[in-house]
Amino acid sequence: MYSFERQTLSNGTELILVPKKSSPISAIMVLVRVGSQYETKNINGVSHFLEHMMFKGTKNRPKAIDISSALDGLGAEYNAFTNQEFTSYYAKVQHTSFSEAAHIIADLYLNPTLPKEEIEKERGVIIEEINMYEDTPARRVQELFIQVLYGDQPAGWDIAGRKEVIRTLSRDDFLSYRNTHYISGNTILIIAGNYTPKTTKDIVRLFEQLPPQPPTPLPAVSESQKKPAELVQFKDSEQTHVVLGFRTCDIHDQRRFALEVLADILGGGMSSRLFQRIREQLGAAYYVSADADLYTNHGYLRARAGIDGAKTEVVIRAVLEEFVRFREESIGDEELNRAKRHITGKLLLSLEAAEEIGYFYGMQVGMGLKPIQPQELTKHINTVTAMDIRAVANDFFHNAGLNFALIGPFKDKSFIDILNT
């Protein structure tokens, strides 16, 4: 369906080209292998803060308005994101304006000035962003779940950081961090859609100016658990938000395909087991879902729901019972095939946009996988058997490895007795 080309530039920067001449859109994405998992505690949040600062001015466009007005004037859709392992900057635009948009993204990545006065102003923006997350319990409870899983290590810290650290980060901290991680060996340049060879050459020439440096190593994740763990946070609210789940495997493990199908059966859509049981039968939740989130060197499966607080224990028991069913019962053909079609259908629909197909290949490269075509990924999903799913459930769904996070109107309340059943 899509062709792609992967090259390694002379300085070690990875280049991924995904041409689609029929598209009216072109996109540029710069992916850098650095995120919160690379941080130390005294600079937790610097990856995300730096992402904001990259838009605050460059040598060629000294002010933030120079960047935003130029991209807006092209009709571009642009943004950036930070997660545990990656930070990325992107823009997509009509293909006739792609050269200009690509040069702007290259400029902000390669030539940021990080003005001190803008750092001071942006502190308040970041802190308000953290406040927003804290006031959004459906999101915040997922961060608590990560804390339960990984504790006081980079994999367990919030991506946005802690307010006390955000208030103290200096310009030197940003410069040191950027000089360490925004290097050729960590950079993946992705160009997708309807672009010209000349534009590609021009942009590649800019990224070849990065001095050749090897990638920085990804810190290891410490995994240790001998009994169920919980984190309950009080919030005087009508709705209670819960997440339950287990550590699983990383993205390189071949069991990931079975795990993905299991997660879809568990909570991947309105026909999933959790949706039917918790929302349709119990009437206990508005949102309910499950997913497997896998990274380069760790991963987990989680089920989450926003529920009626009075039904909290009933819902917890229902989720635990569904976990056990995967260990003890085989999936029927109808349910298995429906989940496979759901996964592969969503995948192909998601790849209609130029930037999404670019990230599809770019993330594989970034995580050290051999990039495969969407069709090959669907083949892996379609070969998953009921026996594979039962086996992966028996590998990971053990009471001693259970983790639980909750935000709701519970003071001095523990759910460990239920988790131990």
What is the dihedral angle through the alpha carbons of 255, 260, 263, 264, rounded to the nearest 10 degrees?
-150
Residue 276 DSSP label: I
**φ, ψ for residue 305, nearest 5 deg:** -160, 150
CB atoms within 10 A of CB 42: 10
Three-state DSSP string of 124-156: HHHHHHHHHHHCCHHHHHHHHHHHHHHCCCHHH
Separation CA 119–CA 410 (nearest Å): 39
- Backbone angle region of 361, left / alpha / beta, with phi > 0 → left and psi within -120 to 50 → alpha: alpha
Does residue 51 have an active-site annotation?
A: yes
Give CA 224 to chain center in angstroms: 23
Residue type, 296: T
Of 5, 14, 39, 51, catalytic: 51
What is the dihedral angle through the alpha carbons of 275, 356, 347, 188, rounded to the nearest 10 degrees?
-110
CB atoms within 10 A of CB 415: 18
Maximum distance among all Cα pairs of the chain, rounded to whole angstroms: 65
Cα separations (Å) of 315 from 71, 140, 243, 309? 47, 19, 11, 10
Separation CA 260–CA 106 (nearest Å): 35
What does DSSP say about strands 229-234 and 402-408: parallel, antiparallel, or unpaired? Answer: parallel
Separation CA 77–CA 153 (nearest Å): 35
Separation CA 199–CA 100 (nearest Å): 9
Active site amino acids: 51
